Structure 1
């Protein structure tokens, strides 16, 4: 069973600092968590992150005494990385014959793995690779992808969209193969 996921993160060329993770399983289960440990200073230094990721986070504007907005509906899922790791492992391990899928998933996979420490520290049942939807799209000739209608750069909304992209790519693959499997 496939799990579609996305991570939002801060990266500086040396470190990938998880901001949030969203996961959607084919059976409808979902997981969303925001790290309470990412660097607010690094987030604020990035114009792109402030414009694209910060608006969906349960944080107060910098001039409002931040950082956390306890009245935001997502505030209950603001968690330490260790708890996010526990929940992500449980979510993945509860999925039979699991396959991980992400869009441009290399950094997402590193962000996921780093929740557990080193790659060799991954819990049993957590795959050591992520299948890449962008790679599959390239293999199919880069068809025009469905547009994400809302929530872009919110990890859960992006994971939901990744599921939609996967379904679209299945149709594209069948079309390319002449409608046969």
Structure 2
């Protein structure tokens, strides 16, 4: 069963610091988690993250008096990385024959692996690779992909959109194959 996911993260060319992860399984289950351990100062120094990712996070706009907005509806999803790792592991292991899928998946997979330490530390049942939707789109001639209606750069909204893009690519693949399958 496929699991579509997305991560938001801070990266500096050496480190990938997880901000949030969203996962959607084909059976309708969803997981959303925000790390309480990412570097707020690094987030604030990154104009792109502040403009695109920060607005969907349960943080105070000015970060005055502490970063977390406890009134935000997503505040209940804020957890330490170790707890996020346990939630992600349970989510994936509850999925029969899990396949991971993401858009431009390389960094997402590294961010996922780093929840558990090194890649070789991945728990049994957690795939060691992520299938790349962008690579599949390229293989199919780069069809015009559906636009995301809302929530862009919110990890859960992006994971939901990844599922939509996957379903779109299946139709494209059938069309490219002359309707077979």
- Aligned CA-pair RMSD: 0.7
Q: How does 1:95-174 map to 2 (within 5 A)?
A: 95-174=95-174
The alpha carbon displacement at 1:65 in A equals 2.6
| Residues 86-117 of structure 1: CA deviation (Å, up to 9, x unaligned) | 00000000000110000001000000000000
1: distance between equivalents of 2:96 and 2:6?
A: 20
Q: CA 1:64/1:87 → structure 2, altered by over 3 Å: closer, same or farther?
A: same
| Residues 26-51 of structure 1: CA deviation (Å, up to 9, x unaligned) | 00000000000000000000000000
1: distance between equivalents of 2:19 and 2:172?
A: 33
**Partner residue, 2:60:** 60
Aligned to 1:64, the other structure's residue is in SS state: coil
For structure 1, the residue ranges without an aligned partner over 5 or more in a row are none
Q: How does 1:88-99 map to 2 (within 5 A)?
A: 88-99=88-99
Q: CA 1:122/1:72 → structure 2, altered by over 3 Å: closer, same or farther?
A: same
For structure 2, the residue ranges without an aligned partner over 5 or more in a row are none
The alpha carbon displacement at 1:61 in A equals 1.5
TM-score by length of 1: 0.99
1:80 aligns with 2:80: yes
Moved over 6 A (4+): none
| Residues 54-113 of structure 1: CA deviation (Å, up to 9, x unaligned) | 000000022533300000001011000000000000000000011000000100000000
Aligned to 1:110, the other structure's residue is in SS state: helix
2: distance between equivalents of 1:63 and 1:176?
A: 50
